[in-house]
Amino acid sequence: MPELLLEILSEEIPARMQRRAAEDLREKLVELADECGFAATVSAEDVQSFATPRRLIGVVRNVPRRQPDAAEERRGPRVGAPDAAIQGFCGANNLAPEQLEIRETSKGAFYFAAIQRKGQDTAEVLASSVPELVYGFGWPKSMRWANTALRWVRPIHGILCLFDGKAVPGGVEFAALNPNVQPIHLPFTNKTVGHRFLAPGSLAVRDFADYRAKLKKANVLIDFSERRARIEKDGARLAQKQGLTIKPDPDLMDECAGLVEWPFVLMGRIDEAFMDLWPEVLATVMRHHQKYLALVDKGGNLASRFLVVAGTRTRDRGRAIVAGNERVLKARLADAKYFRDQDMCRPLEDYVPRLDQLVFHARLGSMREKAGRLEALAAIVGAAMPGTDPMRVRRAALLCKADLVTQMVVEFPELQGAMGGRYAAFGPSHEDAEIATAIAGHYAPRGPGDKCPSDSLSVAVALADKIDSLVGFWAIGERPRGSGDPFAMRRAALGVIRLIVENDLRVPLRSVFVQARDLYGKTAKELDERGIGDLLDFFADRLKVHIRDRGVPHDHISAVFANSRSEQVREDGLAGEVDLVRVLARVGALGRFLGTDDGADLLVAYRRASNIVRIEQKKDARVFEAALYDPGLGDGTERQLSDSLSDINAGMTPLLEAEKFEETMELLSRLRSPVDAFFDRVTVNVDDVDVRENRLRLLARINAVMNEVADFSKIEG
């Protein structure tokens, strides 16, 4: 069958947008095939997409030359309706009255119209569908140009749209915003262009295979993975000649593959005068500002070489390109060396007052105020960690944001934290190594691949920083909504979870949140108990994300977390303290329990009891309280169940307090036999009102006792 080939040629697309754009194009082409009636022959596997810096490419295989004919039935007026209604229905469907059919339905006899729609030629369908795809394509950032209404990531130069070996008739018209200016029309063609510098000429193509082969000859690799593999291979070869290897950096490697259509990897040299700069400074300048790949020696130390990915070949084999990049890097490193030397003229503590000039958030005050809160909050968090020196925790927290106003971090923001740690250890401050480490690592973990701090000082400061931000933004209503999370609260919450879980910390989250709120004073006065509860729910959702890859069902988390929120009330009136380590231990025990026959059967009994009580409570418009159950009204089977519930409930309390969750589940499993006996031998809804109500209270007791372990109503399936 024929194929559809689409290429949108434009100015350079930012590397970070290319892969997502290719996926979006693929999805839109799958939707287009479905909407055009090609779903019978075109599957999702028949659609491919690619992206390069200059082009967005899609290919759809097995597209029929013509749309299939379609049959549609429409119900019209009831038989006996006024003639005007029947004539109107015929006119709307372009049929004569004698072409209507009369059919009997459950609501009587009606007129029906059977409409046959002839399929169009596919080329005609594409002529109208492809422009709609172009206009409806979304980008994270887009622009208008030449006074046109179309928004695209960069100005479009041409559109190749080929079906069955021929250019689709028509094109895309860019309507003008100014009525006095003529619209721009880009016709669909069968031509593309090669590499901008190495093969800029026009290329006529027949199909995707021809397109791909000719572009490769014209120095364009359309496949991202092929460009990336070429960079890795050529880079590794150059590095090996010097006895070096490429420093692993998958994200930067991806970005380099998105910068060029035909990569040429070249090696440059770092001036030895700058090799005394700290490795993170060298790496940051090369990575974030110049997109150079760093090299390391056999000992893992940063080498005085770098790799640059060029987009064109030169007659001098890249010597001028390398020399130009070395000059640029030398200037950037000279700046970095000057900033370092200037910053280290004074102790880190001298920078703290300058944080008044830096706004944390317009409604949450300055970074100086945040540093003050962190000093207090880190001490609170550290108090939950045995062996942590509160004075040193406060010192590290006070200094952790000071580097934000140093010249180095102002110029290279990516170095925040790292420079604070360096200045603390090697500058006039002469802070001890643990304080310097805590300052350097207080942003960690920044993402799922980042290592989590493990020493108590670093963990306390990192937790304080993230919790302060979470509570502050939550208090002013800046909460994540949908896909929007401008203040990275989801990442911060996952960071808190990892810090607690990976270090096995017993941090009472609710009380820490309350104390963090109080440190804000009037700013966070609207964050009441309900708001704190909402924040805990947000953490429950993040916890589900954190353990999803371990195969733990999310409803198990919900069941235990809901129970943890409501299982205790402290003297200060704060209900439901949450301990994440305790929660995860209970989740594991619950999962293992539900995986047994006793657990699965007991869950069925719980649901049966819940349904009966819920239905009868609704019918009677009253609540049957478990605490009011009277054992004296029951028969032997009831009393056996009641005694078992009492014994198990009494035995669970010390086990839960001692966090012996496996033993708790084993004890709970003893309910299975008396519960099964109850449902086998006892009828709940009997004529005797008192007996009926008492038995409903007994069912409520089953749920109440089981809910001491987890909220089983949250368990799905």
**pLDDT (tens digit per residue) in 581-596:** 888 888 899 999 999 9
Mean pLDDT score of the chain:
91
Query: Of 193, 255, 266, whose CA–CA distance to 227 is shortest?
Result: 255
For 106-146, the pLDDT digits (tens) are 888 999 888 777 778 889 999 999 999 999 999 999 999 98
How many whole angstroms separate alpha carbon 458 and alpha carbon 438? 4
Please report, as a single letter, which amino acid is at residue 398.
L
Query: Cα–Cα distances in Å, from 410 out to 287, 292, 382, 713?
Result: 17, 21, 30, 53
* 161-170, 221-230, 423-432, 631-640: segment of lowest average pLDDT: 631-640
Token pair, residue 13, equals 């697309």
How many whole angstroms separate alpha carbon 569 and alpha carbon 352? 40
One DSSP character per residue, 403-430 reads GGGSHHHHH-GGGTTHHHHHHHHHSTT-
Query: Cα–Cα distances in Å, from 348 out to 374, 402, 406, 520, 545?
Result: 16, 6, 9, 25, 38
Residue 572 has pLDDT above 50, yes or no: no
How many whole angstroms separate alpha carbon 156 and alpha carbon 188? 13
For 340-359, the pLDDT digits (tens) are 999 999 999 999 999 999 99
Q: How confident is the model at residue 442, as a pLDDT?
A: 96
- What's the number of CA atoms in the CB half-sphere (13 Å) around residue 562? 13
Q: How confident is the model at residue 570, as a pLDDT?
A: 36
For the chain, the structural domain boundaries read: 4-66+121-217, 71-117, 224-343, 348-590, 596-714
How many whole angstroms separate alpha carbon 291 and alpha carbon 309? 8
Highest mean pLDDT among 68-82, 311-325, 551-565: 311-325
Q: How confident is the model at residue 583, as a pLDDT?
A: 84
Q: How confident is the model at residue 571, as a pLDDT?
A: 34
Residue 328 has pLDDT above 90, yes or no: yes
Q: How confident is the model at residue 574, as a pLDDT?
A: 36
596-714, what's its fold?
A: Isoleucyl-tRNA Synthetase; Domain 1 (1.10.730)
* Beta carbons within 8 Å of 496's beta carbon, 6+ residues apart: 463, 466, 467, 470, 539
Q: How confident is the model at residue 119, as a pLDDT?
A: 75
* 128-132, 447-451, 517-521: segment of lowest average pLDDT: 447-451
In the chain, the percentage of residues whose pLDDT exceeds 90 is 67
Residue 458 has pLDDT above 80, yes or no: yes
For 679-701, the pLDDT digits (tens) are 999 888 888 888 899 889 999 99
- How sure is the predictor about 578, in pLDDT bands with cuts at 50, 70 and 90? confident
29: left (phi over 0), alpha (psi -120 to 50) or beta: alpha
Q: How confident is the model at residue 577, as a pLDDT?
A: 59
In the chain, the percentage of residues whose pLDDT exceeds 70 is 97
Residue 205 — φ and ψ, nearest 5°? -125, 155
Q: How confident is the model at residue 568, as a pLDDT?
A: 43
Residue 717 has pLDDT above 70, yes or no: no
**Residues forming a β-bridge with 47:** 60
356: left (phi over 0), alpha (psi -120 to 50) or beta: alpha
Q: How confident is the model at residue 429, as a pLDDT?
A: 84
Q: How confident is the model at residue 156, as a pLDDT?
A: 96
DSSP 3-state of 575: strand
Contact at 8 Å (CB) between 442 and 462? yes
- How sure is the predictor about 546, in pLDDT bands with cuts at 50, 70 and 90? confident
> Average pLDDT of 278-301?
94
DSSP 3-state of 459: helix
Query: Of 588, 532, 594, whose CA–CA distance to 560 is shortest?
Result: 588
How many whole angstroms separate alpha carbon 481 and alpha carbon 485? 7
Token pair, residue 271, equals 């001036």
**Residues forming a β-bridge with 48:** 59
Total-model pTM: 0.78
Query: Of 133, 4, 127, 120, whose CA–CA distance to 63 is shortest?
Result: 4
Residue 554 has pLDDT above 90, yes or no: no
How many whole angstroms separate alpha carbon 667 and alpha carbon 654? 12
Query: Of 639, 518, 536, whose CA–CA distance to 583 is shortest?
Result: 536
Burial of 638 from C-beta contacts in 10 A (0-12 / 13-18 / 19+): buried
Q: Residue ranges of the alpha helices (H) in 116-198?
A: 122-136
Question: Chain centroid to CA 67: how far?
Answer: 39
Query: Of 531, 557, 527, whose CA–CA distance to 544 is shortest?
Result: 557
Q: How confident is the model at residue 576, as a pLDDT?
A: 53
Token pair, residue 124, equals 């005609």
Regarding predicted confidence, which is higher, 424 or 37?
Answer: 424
What are the strands, taking DSSP E only, across 64-177? Answer: 70-78, 101-105, 108-117, 156-163, 166-167, 171-174
Q: How confident is the model at residue 447, as a pLDDT?
A: 85
Query: Of 121, 128, 203, whose CA–CA distance to 164 is shortest?
Result: 121
Residue 73 — φ and ψ, nearest 5°? -115, 140
Residue 465: CB atoms within 10 Å: 26
DSSP 3-state of 616: helix
Residue 527 has pLDDT above 70, yes or no: yes
Q: At which residue do the structure tokens 């317009």 appear? A: 362
- How sure is the predictor about 564, in pLDDT bands with cuts at 50, 70 and 90? low
Burial of 173 from C-beta contacts in 10 A (0-12 / 13-18 / 19+): middle
- Length of the chain (residues): 717
Residue 323 has pLDDT above 90, yes or no: yes
How many whole angstroms separate alpha carbon 160 and alpha carbon 171? 9
- How sure is the predictor about 384, in pLDDT bands with cuts at 50, 70 and 90? confident
Question: Chain centroid to CA 708: how far?
Answer: 33
Residue 203 has pLDDT above 80, yes or no: yes
Q: How confident is the model at residue 71, as a pLDDT?
A: 67
How many whole angstroms separate alpha carbon 435 and alpha carbon 452? 16
**Residues forming a β-bridge with 365:** 361
Pairing of strands 70-78, 55-60: unpaired
Buried b (16+ CB within 10 A) or exposed e, 222-249: bbbeebbebbbebbeebbeeeebbbbee
Q: Is the peptide bond before 445 cis (omega within 30 degrees of 0)?
A: yes
Q: At which residue do the structure tokens 């007991």 appear? A: 602
Q: How confident is the model at residue 452, as a pLDDT?
A: 94
